[in-house]
Amino acid sequence: MKRLDQVLANDGVGAELELVIKDVMVACKDIAYKLAQGELAGILGATEDENVQGETQKKLDVISNDLLKDILIANPYVRGIGSEEEDYTVAGNAGGKYLVTFDPLDGSSNIDVNLSVGTIFSVLEAQDDQSGDNQEVFLQNGRKQVAAGYVLYGPSALLVMTTGNGVNFFTLDRNIGEFVLTKSNIQIPEDTAEFAINMSNQRFWEPEMKQYIDDCLAGEEGPLGKRYNMRWVASMVAEVHRILVRGGIFMYPYDSRDPSKAGKLRLMYEGNPMSMIVEQAGGASSTGRIDIMDVEPKGIHDRVPVVLGSKNEVAKVVAYHSK
């Protein structure tokens, strides 16, 4: 089986970008180990602090963020980093070529109940000579990403990644401490009868999303003409991974609880990297109105509605919004 570095070399990934990705994996291996230890490692429970998103931080949120931040800002090829857990971007090496954004622990509400969580990351090229602590250098749309991926911490630790040449699965071989290729050229089925959405928010959705879900629930007798299954894990990494394995559609749409926010999920840390992965696997991603990776960010913590997964099902949701 090929190791991650061998696959990157075969794909023509340069040595500088390879080193950035390898450092992300060093941190992720440590996170995987701490998660496997659970309460033995003292990682369960919450802190008394809130992050910039106004969310109470779990202990492992902070640990994971510090692991990624410390290793990446020491990397000679990283100009700066942006984290969901940090108020501002953080400068790295002034001569670095790359910018890295990440959600250090997606789905952290699942930690204490021992369900799947993950780390999401994205790599951009720095476009000018400004310092990495200037958020302006990060404000590029998702089409500018040179790599994106996530690590799913489940029964096994899985890296799912693209450098713009398709999507591959790598499994952490704990015997050698390396991620090795286990599936290549992942393709999402174009059609599906499975959707994932938090139904408890239904009363806050726009009419178009309400109508689409109502039509899904109507089954064979409804306008969509088939019976749908619903799933919800409360971890975007787990939701997207299921789609990559067997198809489906994941939605976290706009809702009216806070009209000042376009959506729940962060564009730079979740929307863009997951959209790159899904599109590289033959799926589609949208806000319901435009492709997520075409959204021009105004700030490092911008939020966006998310609809992604099997291509034909995403098209149906977009059609509801364009009526």
Check the annotation: does 299 bind a ligand. Answer: no
Check the annotation: does 106 bind a ligand. Answer: yes
d(CA 73, CA 76): 8
Check the annotation: does 264 bind a ligand. Answer: yes
166, with CB counted inside 10 A (0-12, 13-18, 19+), is middle
> Nearest-CA neighbor of 111 among 51, 170, 179, 36?
36
Q: Please report the sign of the dihedral spanned by the C-alpha atoms of residue 190, residue 10, residue 119, residue 155.
A: positive
Check the annotation: does 105 bind a ligand. Answer: yes
> Nearest-CA neighbor of 237 among 119, 97, 73?
119
Check the annotation: does 87 bind a ligand. Answer: no
200, with CB counted inside 10 A (0-12, 13-18, 19+), is exposed
Check the annotation: does 65 bind a ligand. Answer: no
Check the annotation: does 178 bind a ligand. Answer: no
Bridge pairing between strands 78-83 and 98-106: parallel
Bridge pairing between strands 249-252 and 194-196: parallel
Residue pair 149/161 in contact (Cβ under 8 Å)? The answer is yes
Residue ranges of the annotated binding site are 84, 103, 105-109, 198, 264, 270
Residue ranges of the annotated binding site for Mg(2+) are 84, 103, 105-106, 270
Residue ranges of the annotated binding site for substrate are 106-109, 198, 264
